Structure 1
Amino acid sequence: MAESRTAMPLHGARQGLHRGAARVDAATPADRDRAVDALRALAILGVVLGHWLVTALVADGGFGLRTASPLRHLPWLAPISWVFQTLAVFFLVGGHVATRGYASARARGTTYGQWLTSRLSRLFKPVAAILTLWTVTSALLLLSGTDIDTVHTLLKLALSPLWFLLVFAALTAATPLLLRVHPLWPLAVVLHVDLFRFGLGGPAWLGWVNVVAGWLVPYTLGAAWSRGELEHRRAGWILLTGGALVTAALVAWAGYPASMVGVPGAPISNLSPPTLAAVTFGLAQCGLALLLRGPLRRTMRRPLVWAAVALLNLSAMTIFLWHQTALMATTATGLAAGHLPGLHTLPDDLGWVAARLAWLPLFTLVLALCWTAFRAYEQGPRRPTGRPSRVVRSQPAAQGAEAEAHHDA
């Protein structure tokens, strides 16, 4: 009898979940390309899990913390970065949706200034919350006697996602100029920059040109996608195989690191600033993303799956901005219990890897709390209760989307 009483609420919850998912599915325009949202969701999950797996905050006596990476102590884990470094997919989807959005805005008579102001306000409004919180937190930490190196470490991790927004904002502003730019042009810039600084001993600062040129490659690929130039599967296979082969050659014979993210202490980082290897690897990722469009469209026909993807897209900026804070909050709080494996210990063996995997659910829970507290900055305030939930459009500006979203929480 007790089991029956327990099962009834669970059954009711499942029915409610299915009904809600069905409403979201029914409210989605029939002509919406759900694969775009699915690719964005995969990209955001890749970034979050990648950071959680390769970022370690090691207790440095007392309550001090310093950054470390398992990729430095366990270099054979480099393939993890191949799976979870998904930034090229962000820029591919961003370029695709921005160019389509700009064309749509022009057709409606919207001026460039109105279009850009709308997009950038959606992009940066959620940033105010995290900047305010970390300004206050840093001041309190310093006043409490926390050493400045620890505060600097925490701030650097918490605010590191902002570089992406700055680059993306610059490319967004330049969208009208990039509508017809061929991806080979920025790729040629990256190639020549690397040849000059690595092959001819040029200044290291020159590499920062690739921050724009490197991410311009997938962004302009997204524009080409909007023009219908990447619809054939052959384009995806060319990008995937060509990008993968060139990246392998650069790693094997040209001295580029195997890791596609930065490793503390390494002489060269593939990501800061982007190298030719990071860009060719991104081309392979873009090719795979294009090949996955068909399977993803079929998968997104399932209401439950689509509802989850739609919700994640509506929360993409919040998740992106706060995932590092969730990791740090868990780590700092855990110091009260001592130096815990996988949380405060040096990431130099498989025991750390296993322990870190066990911490992921708690990181997720803390991130969910951050989402609850700060999602209004991205999604807007809750609407009055009693009105049905509907997702009409969900294109978060953080990942280059049109952000024409209406969502009742």
Structure 2
Amino acid sequence: MVDTGLVRRIEAGTAGGRDRAVDGLRAAAILGVVLGHWLVTATVVTGDGVSVASPLAHLGGLTWASWVLQTLAVFFLVGGRAAVLGYRRPYRAWLARRLRRLFRPVVALLAVWTVVIAALLAAGAGPRTVHTVLTLVLSPLWFLLVFAGLTALTPLATRLHPAWPLLTVAVVDVARIGLDGPAALGWLNVVAGWLVPFTLGARFFHRRYGWALLIGGAVATVALVRWAGYPAAMVGVPGEFSNLNPPTLAAVTFGLAQCGAALLLHGPLRRLLRAPRAWAVVAVANLSAMTVFLWHQTAMLAVTGLALRAAGPLPGLHTTPDSPAWLAARLVWLPLFGAALAGCWALFHRAELGRPRTGTG
């Protein structure tokens, strides 16, 4: 239930011309990332310590989850849209405000985990365990760095056609994969690949492009997976070639399809969010979007660690994700991950908010 008084305050404090559907799409994208990580990231406890595994490496039928829950392109799409709508001169002051909002909650995360890692080392945790934990906790930061860089490019994004970064991704993939060029070339795609949906949001955020992007992106992705050898999973699988790290052409065309779907849903979502209660849920989620994103892995690790200490290795938390039984057990744990994340939110969301507000300029 949403508090009636809070609903009224949020409704009264929301600008009349605000595009609520953009916030709705952002909230959905964050939810997809969180659920995706919780579902396909497994911590396996062995005598050598804790390591990361993925059910996608063992359960091929779960690949569809990466198509539904890997929603980064939608986040960059609405990020480009929000950046353009909120852009104000002077540029430096505008950028400083946006970067403060992005990185303010990072300070709390790093402070907490500095203490936790020190405690783990003092307790005798091995290098493998510490490396695994740090990788899971700090992995969201790559996204913030890329998003901050693209935000800084907002003035350019208002003039750049997304076909150019898309072409860059294609050329880089041909060079590094087709011609066996240096693997380091792929890191050009970290910027170019996510610049495609960002510029779409900045310049072409309209329903009339929706079907073309959805159908064209889907067809291109199927063709790349079927005939060009790209993996079907749209997230990284340990030990296998990744579509996401760095982004490949298949990941970008898949993102185009997602962006098309988002543009088609924009109108219905805007109508839905005219309802004050529905809007209040989305508004509150957006005010803490970075807190949720940064702490969701911590929430999962907190449940994993406490359960291991209390009961030893448990199915769905500490075992190899190689059977439907593991997946069924994992689904049972998801509500506890959510409860732990709510606890993290209660403790740390004020670090993101600064002064309370209902808008996102």
Residue 317 of structure 2, aligned match among 343, 363, 370: 343
Residue 245 of structure 1, aligned match among 200, 219, 235: 219
Per the TM alignment, residue 301 of structure 1 is displaced from its structure 2 partner at its CA by 1.6
Per the TM alignment, residue 304 of structure 1 is displaced from its structure 2 partner at its CA by 1.5
Structure 2 spans left out of the alignment, 5+ residues: none
1:406 corresponding residue in structure 2: none
1:53 corresponding residue in structure 2: 39
1:41 corresponding residue in structure 2: 27
AA aligned to 2:126 is: D
Q: How many residues align?
A: 360
Per the TM alignment, residue 381 of structure 1 is displaced from its structure 2 partner at its CA by 6.6
Note if 1:218 corresponds to 2:200.
no
Q: TM-score, normalised by structure 1?
A: 0.86
Structure 1 spans left out of the alignment, 5+ residues: 1-13, 383-390, 396-401, 403-409
For 2:359 and 2:54, the matched residues in 1 are separated by: 35
1:385 corresponding residue in structure 2: none
AA aligned to 2:287 is: L
2:236 corresponding residue in structure 1: 262
Residue 82 of structure 1, aligned match among 50, 64, 67: 67
Per the TM alignment, residue 325 of structure 1 is displaced from its structure 2 partner at its CA by 0.3
Per the TM alignment, residue 210 of structure 1 is displaced from its structure 2 partner at its CA by 0.2
CA offsets 1:105-152 (integer angstroms, 9 cap, x no match): 13xxxx111111111111111101111111111111111101011011
Residue 95 of structure 2, aligned match among 116, 132, 137: 116
2:146 corresponding residue in structure 1: 167
AA aligned to 1:85 is: Q
| Counterpart secondary structure, 1:78 | helix
Note if 1:144 corresponds to 2:123.
yes
Per the TM alignment, residue 18 of structure 1 is displaced from its structure 2 partner at its CA by 3.1
1:156 corresponding residue in structure 2: 135
Per the TM alignment, residue 75 of structure 1 is displaced from its structure 2 partner at its CA by 1.8
2:8 corresponding residue in structure 1: 22
Q: TM-score, normalised by structure 2?
A: 0.97
Per the TM alignment, residue 23 of structure 1 is displaced from its structure 2 partner at its CA by 3.2
CA contact (8 A) 2:14 2:359 kept: no
Per the TM alignment, residue 394 of structure 1 is displaced from its structure 2 partner at its CA by 2.4
AA aligned to 1:251 is: V
Residue 327 of structure 2, aligned match among 346, 353, 361: 353
AA aligned to 2:221 is: T
For 2:271 and 2:225, the matched residues in 1 are separated by: 36
For 1:121 and 1:32, the matched residues in 2 are separated by: 22
2:359 corresponding residue in structure 1: 394
Per the TM alignment, residue 159 of structure 1 is displaced from its structure 2 partner at its CA by 0.5
| Cα-Cα RMSD | 1.4
Per the TM alignment, residue 171 of structure 1 is displaced from its structure 2 partner at its CA by 1.0
Note if 1:101 corresponds to 2:86.
yes
Note if 1:271 corresponds to 2:244.
yes
| Counterpart secondary structure, 1:66 | strand
2:285 corresponding residue in structure 1: 312
For 1:99 and 1:18, the matched residues in 2 are separated by: 33
After superposing the two structures, state which structure 1 stretch, 373-382 or 90-99, moved more. 373-382
For 1:343 and 1:41, the matched residues in 2 are separated by: 26
1:398 corresponding residue in structure 2: none
Per the TM alignment, residue 22 of structure 1 is displaced from its structure 2 partner at its CA by 3.2
For 2:275 and 2:99, the matched residues in 1 are separated by: 32
For 1:101 and 1:22, the matched residues in 2 are separated by: 24
